[in-house]
Amino acid sequence: MQSLQLARRPGYCESGQGIPISANFFSFQLSTGGDKIQKYAVNFEPAIADSLGKQRERVLNKVKGQLIEHIGKYVFATTALYSAQTSTQVTLISNFDNTDYTITVTPTGPVESDLEIKAFYNKFFNSVQGRLNLVMIGRKFFNPDRPVELPQHKLAIWPGYASSVGTYENGCLINIDISHRCLRTITVYDQIAEIRSKNPSDFRNAVAKYFIGAIILTLYNKKNYKVDDIDWDMSPNSTFADKNGQQSSFKAYYGSKWGKNIVHDDQPLLRCKTKQIEALLVPEFCVMTGLTDEIRADFNIMKDMAQATKKEPHMRLEESAGLIKAIKSNEKANIEVVNWKADISIQPVTLTGRVIAAGSIMMGGNANFKINDQTGSFDRDIQNTMYSQPNLDKWGVFFCENDRKLVESSFMTTLNQVISTYKVQCQKPVLFGVKSDRWNDWEQILRSNLNPSIKMIVCILPGSRGKSRLYDDLKRMIFSSLPVPSQCILNATLKKDKGLRSVVNKVIMQINAKIGGVPWALQNLPFSDAPTMAVGIDVFHKAGSHSVLGFCATTDKNFAKYVSLPKVNAPSEEICSQLSECMVQAITQFAIENGRPPARIVIFRDGVSDSQRSAVLEGEIPQIKQAFSKLRGDGKLPEDPKLIFLVVNKRINARFYANQGGKVNNPPLGTIVDRAVVEKNGYDFYVMPAKATQGAMTPTHFHVIYDDTGIRCDEVQQLAYRMCYSYYNWSGSIRVPAPCQYAHKLAYQYGERANNSGPPIPHTHWGTTRCLYFL
């Protein structure tokens, strides 16, 4: 098969209205007198493994002065170093840890590839940031000297930066965004003590569950490590052999090396493996970093953190530029910049964006309305007859008996009001009281009353947000063995009179989508001139478990009805192997419902990093083409559909700001950026699809990696934006096109329901039904 080529930009957005935009990208130039950056291979004898980057760097630093005399200022990147100066091979002797290393530095020629130039620039800029006394955690740098304290939550937040250098249409640019890192203000030892007081009988397992996999920071030298295990057999009084072979206790080592006195002898040690060594750390001198599920579930903590971290647009842009100002004002960092003759602008890149309209929504009874481009929300507008509403004739409500009064009064009263407002054609649901909140009782009554003819069940489950014990068991059963659409509501939600009507409004729309209806549809979408199928693809990954492929494809001209195909993969199985099967099923179903197969297919692929794009091009697209070949061979496809494949990325550091009347604000919804800060030889664009409730707006980045449709880029961008308004869990715009979000939700629902045997195996019924049962 002929190798596939990444798509090239066919043009630029000309639709909508132009708007001046500032981006958090800054010009970066190295003055090398016209010469290219030179690369040198570095060899150590005795050999030091490539994975031991820190050790290689330390050995090389012993002869840094001599090396600069031969090749000039350089940047070292584990296996190679880069310099602006051409030189011949040089051999040096470095003594490190009483060992003589012979270092041979050999020129390999100028750096030519964009990827390698980008790698050099990022290594150089990281070395400059390293001179600002910032702490590197992951790939970001944080300032420990300006913490934001949240004493009520025993947390501190370090401000910092996420930066990357790349080559764009406007040349070499640095993208700088502000970032934050959450740290505990109590030590890991204190946290272990808290866990022990709450779980005295099983505290070791509780400690392991909480800390293994977490990132911790050592207080004495600000290094970060990932916890691999808790060693309960060791303590600060345990001994180890130092580099001279002498036995020393951890207590004595910390006293002599760091001047730290260990107070608690009754603590285990934390095992942390790095590329160089296995470290044993003392909990008393460590703090945990990052957010746990427990913190994310705490509304008050997240609210206070948002207030501390969500910066208004003008402040966020100023703080991004603040990194460059800090470099220029810091003697050590600025010397590095001057020595390399680097020119870094403190002025952000400016460009012209285009603002396109969100369009209109179609409802039942031929009603329609224009989407409010200011808010992107239409919560009130859709409280009417839905676009398509199947008759809801067989359905029931299940609940614990002690919630009967709550269900019969509060819930059913509100439900009847909503049914009247939306003009839903339905029979009265049958009420089923379950005698307890034990799963065995629920399973018994569900299995004895449900069959495939039942349209829907509503389950009022005991518990509060994210804490219902019955939810996982119920969903596993529904997904794998009892295929009846279900809608779950927590009894804690029903107890809140305020907002209950809004909740039930959303519930009735979800119920409609789950039984094959369409709550609303988008009017006059692009690509409507020929039968077109829109597809969302995402993969759920969880360490130590099966992955789940979520594949959702539209089967109607409004891109509103879906065939949903979850596929559970074995731990070592590639998702590509099931893509072909999914595509065959989707095209077959499309042909059944439309009388012909699709002429065009638009794929939105979520969850792919920049480094994985080529792998998707080479691995996943051939599988899709293989499905076309199979269908042609079976006589079900007269010719291959035209295909456009977009990778969707919402975890990005690019930010855009509207320059309006001398003020810096968030850009309007529907702003498209496809100039200046996009790839020089690719086909990518940014969309501002969802309003920021607080702080700066986050764009979504689209990469078109394959395109044989010949469609204008304006239409591709319009479809990508407008389909952000057709996700039936939210009456407004979301950050990705609806097929993408449905695929994510589908994969997540199966992946998160995994037990020791893996995720539930999808019942065959779900592969043939046209409903979004997993919402």
Mean pLDDT of 206-229: 91
Q: What is the pLDDT of residues 478-494, one digit of tens each?
A: 999 999 999 999 988 88
- Give 75 or 113, the one with higher predicted confidence: 75
Residue 502 within any structural domain of the chain: yes
d(CA 358, CA 377): 11
Q: Which amino acid is at 276?
A: Q
Q: What is the CATH number of the domain that holds 481?
A: 3.40.50.2300
Cis amide bond preceding 46, omega within 30:
yes
Boundary residue ending a domain (514, 539, 566): 514
- Give 138 or 566, the one with higher predicted confidence: 566
Note the pLDDT of residue 174: 95
In the predicted model, is pLDDT for residue 65 greater than 60? yes
Share of the chain above pLDDT 70, in %: 98
What band does 1 get if pLDDT is binned at 50, 70 and 90?
Answer: very low
CB 204 within 8 A of CB 213: no
Boundary residue ending a domain (92, 110, 128): 110
In the predicted model, is pLDDT for residue 416 greater than 50? yes
In the predicted model, is pLDDT for residue 136 greater than 60? yes
d(CA 380, CA 385): 12
d(CA 186, CA 287): 7
d(CA 477, CA 602): 33
d(CA 198, CA 188): 15
As a residue count, the chain comes to: 775
Say how many Å lie between the first and final Cα of the chain, rounded: 39
Rounded to two decimals, what is the model's pTM? 0.91
Q: What is the pLDDT of residues 346-401, one digit of tens each?
A: 999 999 999 999 999 999 999 999 999 889 999 999 999 999 999 999 999 999 99
Going by C-alpha positions, the residue among 109, 163, 157, 111 that lies closest to residue 140 is 163
d(CA 358, CA 719): 10
d(CA 395, CA 503): 19
Tokens 């959450």 map to which residue? 182
Tokens 């979000």 map to which residue? 741
Tokens 């019955």 map to which residue? 470
Residue 28 within any structural domain of the chain: no
d(CA 71, CA 83): 7
Residue 92 within any structural domain of the chain: yes
Residue 623 within any structural domain of the chain: no
DSSP reduced 3-state for 520: coil
What band does 194 get if pLDDT is binned at 50, 70 and 90?
Answer: very high
CB 554 within 8 A of CB 770: no
d(CA 11, CA 80): 38
Boundary residue ending a domain (514, 530, 550): 514
Note the pLDDT of residue 672: 98
Note the pLDDT of residue 114: 77
Residue 77 within any structural domain of the chain: yes
Residue 183 within any structural domain of the chain: no
Q: Which residues, 6 or more positions from 602, have their beta carbon under 8 angstroms from its beta carbon? A: 527, 532, 533, 534, 535, 644, 646, 719
d(CA 362, CA 652): 33
Residue 496 within any structural domain of the chain: yes
Domain that holds residue 80: 38-110
How many distinct structural domains can be found in the chain? 2
C-alpha separations of 302 from 309, 310, 493, 683 in Å: 10, 11, 20, 37
Mean pLDDT of 446-457: 91
Mean pLDDT of 294-301: 85
Tokens 């997240």 map to which residue? 302
CB neighbours of residue 304 within 10 Å: 17
Q: Which amino acid is at 736?
A: V
The mean of the pLDDT values for the chain is 91
Residue 321 within any structural domain of the chain: no
C-alpha separations of 735 from 171, 496, 670 in Å: 28, 29, 11
CB 735 within 8 A of CB 698: yes
